[in-house]
Amino acid sequence: MSNTTEAFSPYDGADYLDNLDDVAAYLEAALEDGDDPALVARALGTIARSGNVSELARRVGMSREGLYKALSGDGNPSFATIVKVAGALGLKLHFEPAV
């Protein structure tokens, strides 16, 4: 009998967002998952962590710490911040009828 212990690192979705198609699909899933705006902010935070957060913060016009705070689970970013972050990530928002 072996007493080996396996060590696992915590799962981080940011490790798997390698391209813009994956990023868009991840954000779309967060939008479709419910009525929780904090979920969208957290998804954007995960997306931000998948790349260079400092560079993204510069493009958005925020400090790195401010961006982390806004896109955390406890953050409450304005719609303007959401739009700026999406644009800086190379994404555009669109709306369609909920039929």
pLDDT score of 22 more than 70 = yes
pLDDT of residue 31: 85
* CATH number of residue 66's parent domain: 1.10.260
86 falls within a domain: yes
Total tally of structural domains belonging to the chain: 1
pLDDT of residue 67: 94
Q: Cβ distance 67 to 60 under 8 Å? A: yes
30-78 tens-digit pLDDT: 888 767 888 888 899 999 999 999 999 999 999 999 999 999 878 889 9
32 falls within a domain: no
pLDDT of residue 70: 92
Cβ neighbours of residue 67 closer than 8 Å, sequence gap 6 or more: 48, 53, 56, 57, 60, 85
Enclosing domain of residue 82: 37-91
Calculate the dihedral angle through the C-alpha atoms of 27, 31, 35, 36, rounding to the nearest 10 degrees: 10
